[in-house]
Structure 1
Amino acid sequence: MDHERVVRDVTVRLPMASTALEACQWTVSALARHTPATVSILLQVQDRLRCVAATGAWQVFSTVPPQTGVVGRVYASGRPAVVTDVADDPDYLPVRPDVTAELCVPLLGPAGQPVGVLDLQWSEPVELDRWRRTAARLAGRIGARITALGGPPAESRSEKLLRHAAAMTGAPTDWDLMAAAITAARDVSGLSAAVLLLTGRRGPRLGAPTAAPGELESRIRAELTAADRTTLGQLVDRAHRHGSAYTLGEAGHPPTEDYLPLTRAGARTLVAVPVGPPDGGGLLLVADERLLRPDPTTVNLMELLAGQAWSCLDRLRTLARLREQAASDPLTGLRHTGPFGQRIASATPGRTALLAIDVDGFKDVNDTYGHQAGDRLLVGLARALEGALRHGDELYRTGGDEFVAVIEVSRPDEAVRIAERLTEAARRTGRTISVGVALPVPGESPDRTLRRADQALYAVKRQGRDGVHLSAA
């Protein structure tokens, strides 16, 4: 094979290419006339390698994550790779079932930095050394032309949406998710500001801001924060009732009244997209100070983004409910033994008091009036005890009629006074309780402190119930 001719045929049209994509497609087509290999060119787009031109296979990988496969290895290192047996290379990405050898070379810009890779794969004997030299020459010319044309093609809006969707899916909290959705809305739409309005029990509220909102976004948030809930509700209701909307920006046509807070903030371009269901969702607003006319594709992308954001938010809320149910007693709603064990593990010696609580005569209630009456007693008593505790004190149900309060105090007598408040609250429900109090001492395990509180409780039982006893350290 005349490799000089290969280089001439492949590169002759490069100066005529008007885009990097065109240069790559011409290169692949020309190379395919000289070799039966699978030929592909992948360029860096954002944080991945995107296949922009390929031939010679039934299927190729559209994008490749960083440092994945032979192509990722070559791109990351900037050094070519010659694989004489793909079966022995753990990085090989299967493209054809009969491939035996692979040659991959980096496409380098003028400063020597990789902008992509040229990859060839053969299923028949080939002079790899000759092709390596030829591919290196081609890669240099292709890389120079791509750089002259402005570098690899920009990330498309659909690719941006896919990248942001992955970020939203991985968001650990509601706050992180809303910030990711706002960032995505700005990036995909090309507009400078985005806010989320979410419906809650008290009406619509603003979602979490991003870390560094721009001026317009800050002004919009200020206007919506100052607006009454009726105005915010009208904005949300309008979108859910009639669908997405966007501005034409035509002069002489004022906005409807519910959009006035946005125009006062300086928004001249606006896309409004409903989020989630009408009875519990919200609204995504994307805006700009420039007078633009968003196209329907932009609106469609915002609708896809809003749908993804709501799916992720609904999943996070569902997981939170499941965690709460797993950590809570289904009868009283109090946290139970799992969270209690975590809490007492962080007890502060001399300051964290454990109050072991037992309902006096509870078995008699169950035996005489039935378990439903016993359940009602426990629920009523749990509410009464919660009401008698201070803000920040914690109450757990650790057994059938057994509770433990974890409180922070400065002195043992303060813990005793709070325990006495609990006994008074129980009496007001028509029942009595016995309470044992213990404060952890340095070097004592939480389980040992709890045993001392239980022993103090049994001391109350022996003395006639309905009282408080402080355990000696």
Structure 2
Amino acid sequence: MDHQRVIRDVTVRLPMASTAAEACQWTVTALARYAPATISVLLQVHDRLRCVAATGSWQVYSTVPPDTGIVGRVYASGRTSVVPDVAADPDYIPVRPDVSSEVCVPVLDPAGRPIGVLDLQWSGPADLAAWRDTAERLAARLGARIVALGGPPAESRSEKLLRHAAALTSAPTEWDLMHAAITAARDVSTLSAAVLVLVGREGPRLGAPTAAPGDLESRIRAELAEAGPEALGRMISLAHRYGAGYTLGEAGHPPTDDHAPLTRAGARTLVAVPVGPPAGGGLLLIADERLLRPDPTTVNLMELLAGQAWNALDRLRTLARLREQASSDPLTGLRHTGPFGQRIAAATPGRTALLAIDVDGFKNVNDTYGHQAGDRVLVGLARALEGALRHGDELYRIGGDEFVAVIEVNRPEEAVRIAERLTEAARRIGRTISVGVALPRPGESPDLTLRRADQALYRVKREGRDGVHLAAA
């Protein structure tokens, strides 16, 4: 093999390349005439190594994380790797079943920083030392040409959207999701501001802020907040009725009244995209102070982003509902034994009071009027007891007609007063309850504290019901 001829052939072609992708493809094509190998060039694009040119394999990986495989190892270290037996290298990424050896060299810029790798894999005998030298010399020429052409190819908008879609899917909370959606909208559209408006129980609301005060995005948020829910509702309705829209920005043609708050904030370019279903979705607004004309591709990408954001949001809300159902009583909506056990495990001795509550005569209601009537009694009583508790107090249903309130108090007498408020609340809806009160002792288990509260409750039962008793400290 005349390695000087290989180098000469590639070197002659490189100056004719007008893009980094062309330079990589010509390098791979020229090398393939001399080396019966799988050949590829991977360049860093954002946070991954993208396969820009390849030959000699039925399939290659489009992108590879920069810390994965032999290519990732070479890129991270900036040092060549010669592997005589790929089966013995744990980092080898299989692309052909018959590969036996590999030479991977870093593609460096003129300052010596890695911008990618040139990788050659053989399925037969090869002079690896000679090919190492040839590959390193070609990679140096290729790196210089890529830098002269402006560097590795930029991340495409579809690649950006794919990357952001992964961030949306993995967002742990609605706040994180809204922040990720707004960031994605700005990045993919290349416009400077994005605002997400979602319909909630109390009407339209603005999503998580991501811009500094004074920026276009913060000014838009301020104008929309001042315009009020009605104006936001009209904008959402328009988008869901007619679909996504974008500005032409033609002189002498002012915006509609519904979009006036955006122009007052300084927006001269706008893309408006519906999010989710008309009844409970919202609106994604992407804007810029520059007078631009967004192309239809940008609008399509924003529609895809809005769809992905809504799917991720719907998933988060579904999971939240399932968690709530798993931790709450389906009849009364109160939390049940699982959360109660966690709460009393964190009880503070001398400060956390447990109020064991039992409905007087509940069995007679079920026996006389049926279980549906009993269910109505339990629901009504749950609402009455919740209303009598203070903010921060917690009420649990731990059995058929058994409730427990967990409250923080300064003195035992305070716990008794709150228990008496509960009995009064029950009387107001035509029921009576018996309440036993206990405060945890130092070193006492939560189960034992609850047992003492139950004992105090049964003392009330024995003494005629409809009352409160405090367990001994």
Same fold (TM over 0.5): yes
Q: Report the alpha carbon displacement of residue 466 of structure 1 after superposing the two structures with TM.
A: 1.3
Cα separation, 2, equivalents of 1:430 and 1:206: 44
Instruction: Give the share of equivalent positions with the same residue, in percent.
Output: 84
Structure-to-structure mapping, 1:38-437, within 5 angstroms: 38-210=38-210, 212=212, 215-437=215-437
TM-score by length of 1: 0.98
Q: Report the alpha carbon displacement of residue 17 of structure 1 after superposing the two structures with TM.
A: 2.1
SS at match of 1:194: strand
Cα separation, 2, equivalents of 1:343 and 1:12: 75
Gaps of 5+ in 1: none
Q: Report the alpha carbon displacement of residue 369 of structure 1 after superposing the two structures with TM.
A: 2.0
SS at match of 1:350: coil
Cα separation, 1, equivalents of 2:389 and 2:448: 24
Cα separation, 2, equivalents of 1:462 and 1:82: 87
Cα deviation code 1:96-133 (max 9, x no counterpart): 12111111111112222110000011111111111111
Partner in structure 1 of residue 17 of structure 2: 17
Q: Report the alpha carbon displacement of residue 213 of structure 1 after superposing the two structures with TM.
A: 6.5
Cα separation, 1, equivalents of 2:45 and 2:446: 55
Q: Report the alpha carbon displacement of residue 21 of structure 1 after superposing the two structures with TM.
A: 1.4
Alignment check: 8 A CA contact 1:193 1:214 kept: no
Q: Report the alpha carbon displacement of residue 211 of structure 1 after superposing the two structures with TM.
A: 6.0
Alignment check: 8 A CA contact 1:197 1:204 kept: yes
Aligned length: 473
SS at match of 2:378: helix
Gaps of 5+ in 2: none
Cα separation, 1, equivalents of 2:231 and 2:359: 51
Cα separation, 2, equivalents of 1:66 and 1:415: 61
Cα deviation code 1:266-288 (max 9, x no counterpart): 00000000101111111100000
SS at match of 1:440: coil
Alignment check: 8 A CA contact 1:192 1:214 kept: no
TM-score by length of 2: 0.98
Cα separation, 1, equivalents of 2:213 and 2:47: 24
Alignment check: 8 A CA contact 2:211 2:217 kept: no
Cα separation, 2, equivalents of 1:347 and 1:158: 52
Give the AA of the match of 1:259.
H
Cα separation, 2, equivalents of 1:227 and 1:217: 15
Q: Report the alpha carbon displacement of residue 441 of structure 1 after superposing the two structures with TM.
A: 2.7
SS at match of 1:357: strand
Cα separation, 1, equivalents of 2:396 and 2:444: 21
Give the AA of the match of 1:81.
S
Change (3 A) 1:214 1:43: farther
Q: Report the alpha carbon displacement of residue 183 of structure 1 after superposing the two structures with TM.
A: 0.4
SS at match of 2:102: strand
Moved more, 275-284 or 449-458: 449-458
SS at match of 1:13: helix
Give the AA of the match of 1:265.
A
Cα deviation code 1:5-59 (max 9, x no counterpart): 1111112122232221111111011111111101100000111000000011111
Change (3 A) 1:145 1:314: same
Partner in structure 1 of residue 443 of structure 2: 443
